[in-house]
Amino acid sequence: MALDTITIKYLTDELNTLICDARIEKVYQPENDEIMLSLKSLKGTFKLVISANASHPRIHLTSTQKQNPDKAPLFCMLLRKHLQGGRIIGINQIDNERIIRIDIDSYDELGDKTTKHLFCEIMGRHSNIILTRSDLGVIDSIKHIDFSVSSVRQILPGLTYQTPPPQNKTPILSFDTGSIDLTKQGQLPDKAIMNSVSGISPLLARELVYRAIGKNNIDCSELDNLQREKISCELNSILSYPLKPCIIYDVKSNKSIDFSPYDICQYGDLAYEKYFNNINSMLDEFYKNRDSAERMKQKSTDLIHILNTSIERVSKKLALLKKTVKDAEKKDEYKIKGDLLSTNIYKIQNGDSSVTLENYYDEALGEITITLNPMLSPSQNVQRYYKLYQKAKTAEIEAAKQLENAMSDLDYLESTLVLTQNAQSESDLNEIRLELGELGYMKKRLQNKKQKQKAISKPHHYISSDGFDIYVGKNNTQNDTLTLRFANSQDMWFHTKKIHGSHTIIKLGVNKEIPPSTIKEAAGLAAYYSKARESSNVPVDYTQIKNVKKPNGAKPGMVIYDYYNTVYVTPSVGELEKLN
């Protein structure tokens, strides 16, 4: 869900309490549409993230650390020039809408004190971050909006900042119950509220209807006057609800559904809530995984396209090779016909299109009709069948070799696709790009020594509930290093059974006895970092490292193993977070 007006009201109050009077120490721009302010005040140090991402626009304090680009973007440099070293003197919600204005006192090049305004517009695909002078003259924005984008409102350097045009609705924070029509046929009450009131989320619209009449899937025309009055009263009293910031999770999948500043009752037993002490920590938790997944999806698009194209190409090659092997099964038939024709060549006349002969290869000595090429002589027809036999025999041998290589290629590509989809940082993706470039699946990128050193990342590291170190590879090259170099022969190795995924290692250290709980936790990590992340009862094989071997010439990450046990687990984000 996007931030609505009510949540922003509480968020603004929190931010004023926590970071008003804070000094801006650093300004970063980790994403094209996102900035991060490092703040310091008497109450501590904070990181404020402001995002104009079309899918997840937001502003809140965060504990998440993001990797910054090597070269700061122009907008980041401009913010550093105008805001770094400045002091936040106020944070306000503008016009009861999804706009927050941060007022900042700073000093210009001449040492004169000036006030700048940083507007954070949280409006879906129209979201923006805009820096203005005290007179609202636009200095710059993270997204430039000209006439080609909007004929109503332009955001460009030099123009005067204007708030977005008002909707033809009543703001929820100044609501008048007389403006809502709850009688229209074919419309649900929550939709009627959304059509009349601005700044309220679909979740809260459904919630207040549910609290009023115990359900929200009823047509407005079916409501009686008492029900309509209850809904209006509930809408009027929404700001008096006790503040209970929470994230709603689906019971079956444990995935986050939505967040709310209030307790949510409408889902019943289908969902559960996780409560937070404040709005900021709720938003940080909600967007931490969701925004990261969305960003990684965008950044891995080219890799996924290359891998899918390569998988499709190899799959077609496999189909052709399998057909070649199947066709080669006729080779013995060609030889038999060649032998029969050679033995009975005196029975063949020039110009014959076929000949029927006794098949002495058949125990019953049945007859066989052999097709001939009338343009060839009898001896040439004999040689033709021997050539077909030799060709099929050679094709079978070569196709068998290529079939094995193609299946290995397909296995590698599918494994790499899973690792790409599970990647958690841009450096993880860059290592996969480097690996694919080395193997010739994509064009190599020129890298200097500094970039190559930066590209080398470490595997995921977890500590089990019993204190054992567990490591999980992020890419195929890292899987090889983890399994074949890092681990000792007695360490325990895990991998999903016949399912593509990461290699997982338990380092034994001094303690050689692994408790069942640690075995289950390591298996859960192997299942989570695999293609079966969304599945249940995932089979995971585990064995000692000494039983894991890499065949000669095998691609990165490809191994074979024996003397293993299998455990069945259901991967869970909640269980994974306990091991961090």
| 115-171 per-position pLDDT tens digit | 999 999 999 889 999 999 999 999 999 999 998 888 889 999 999 999 988 878 888
Given a contact cutoff of 8 angstroms between Cβ atoms, the answer to whether 368 and 340 are in contact is yes
Q: Quick one: CA dihedral 422, 425, 426, 431, positive or negative?
A: negative
| Radius of gyration from C-alpha coordinates of the chain | 34
Question: Quick check: 209 pLDDT over 60?
Answer: yes
Look at residue 532 and give its three-state secondary structure: coil
As given in the structure block, the two tokens for residue 546 are 């000494």
| Model pLDDT, residue 178 | 56
| Model pLDDT, residue 179 | 65
pLDDT, average across residues 413-426: 88
Provide φ and ψ at 85, rounded to 5°.
Answer: 90, -10
The number of CA neighbours under 13 Å toward the Cβ of 475 is 20
The number of CA neighbours under 13 Å toward the Cβ of 76 is 20
Look at residue 209 and give its three-state secondary structure: helix
CA distance 109 to 129: 23
CATH classification (class only), 5-141: mainly beta
Predicted confidence band at 80 (pLDDT cuts at 50, 70, 90)? very high
| Model pLDDT, residue 175 | 62
Look at residue 186 and give its three-state secondary structure: coil
Predicted confidence band at 553 (pLDDT cuts at 50, 70, 90)? confident
| Model pLDDT, residue 537 | 93
| Model pLDDT, residue 310 | 92
| Model pLDDT, residue 339 | 85
Q: Which residues contact 516 (CB under 8 A, 6 or more apart)?
A: none
CA distance 341 to 568: 61
As given in the structure block, the two tokens for residue 570 are 């259901």
Q: Which of the pair, 360 or 447, is modelled with greater confidence?
A: 360
Beta bridge partner(s), residue 24: 39
Closest CA to 561 of 506, 492, 515: 492
Closest CA to 393 of 333, 320, 319: 333
| Model pLDDT, residue 449 | 52
Look at residue 455 and give its three-state secondary structure: helix
The total of other beta-carbon atoms located within 10 Å of residue 521's CB is 25
pLDDT, average across residues 455-478: 88
Look at residue 298 and give its three-state secondary structure: helix
CA distance 250 to 248: 7
| Model pLDDT, residue 447 | 56
pLDDT, average across residues 48-73: 90
Closest CA to 24 of 12, 35, 13, 8: 35
How do residues 523-537 score in pLDDT, each as one tens digit? 999 999 999 988 889
How do residues 499-552 score in pLDDT, each as one tens digit? 999 999 999 877 778 999 999 999 999 999 999 988 889 999 999 999 999 998
CA distance 537 to 526: 13
Given a contact cutoff of 8 angstroms between Cβ atoms, the answer to whether 422 and 533 are in contact is yes
Given a contact cutoff of 8 angstroms between Cβ atoms, the answer to whether 91 and 28 are in contact is no
| Model pLDDT, residue 107 | 84
Length of the chain equals: 580
In the DSSP assignment, the letter for residue 482 is I
Question: Quick check: 38 pLDDT over 90?
Answer: yes
Query: Which amino acid, 523?
Result: A
**What's the angle, vertex CA 40, arms to CA 37 and CA 41, rounded to 5?**
135
In the DSSP assignment, the letter for residue 483 is I
- In the chain, % of residues over pLDDT 90: 55
Question: Quick check: 109 pLDDT over 80?
Answer: no
As given in the structure block, the two tokens for residue 268 are 């019943």
| Model pLDDT, residue 297 | 81
Q: Quick one: CA dihedral 304, 305, 306, 307, positive or negative?
A: positive
**What's the angle, vertex CA 266, arms to CA 8 and CA 58, rounded to 5?**
20
Most confident of 56-70, 296-310, 540-554: 540-554
Closest CA to 47 of 32, 77, 27: 27
How do residues 87-96 score in pLDDT, each as one tens digit? 999 999 998 8
Q: What is the pTM of this model?
A: 0.70
Predicted confidence band at 578 (pLDDT cuts at 50, 70, 90)? confident
| Model pLDDT, residue 453 | 53
| Model pLDDT, residue 100 | 96
Match 């004023």 to its residue by tokens.
16
CA distance 519 to 526: 11
CA 72 from chain centre, in angstroms, equals 25
| Model pLDDT, residue 422 | 86
Helix, strand, coil distribution of the chain in percent, nearest 5: 40, 25, 35
Closest CA to 54 of 300, 295, 302, 305: 295
Given a contact cutoff of 8 angstroms between Cβ atoms, the answer to whether 188 and 219 are in contact is yes
**What's the angle, vertex CA 91, arms to CA 42 and CA 88, rounded to 5?**
45
The number of CA neighbours under 13 Å toward the Cβ of 35 is 27
pLDDT, average across residues 285-305: 83
Beta bridge partner(s), residue 140: 131
Q: Greatest CA separation found in the chain?
A: 114
Predicted confidence band at 1 (pLDDT cuts at 50, 70, 90)? low
| Model pLDDT, residue 458 | 86
CA distance 409 to 440: 12
Phi-psi group of 351: left, alpha or beta (phi > 0 → left; psi -120 to 50 → alpha; rest → beta):
left
pLDDT, average across residues 171-191: 79
Beta bridge partner(s), residue 44: 41
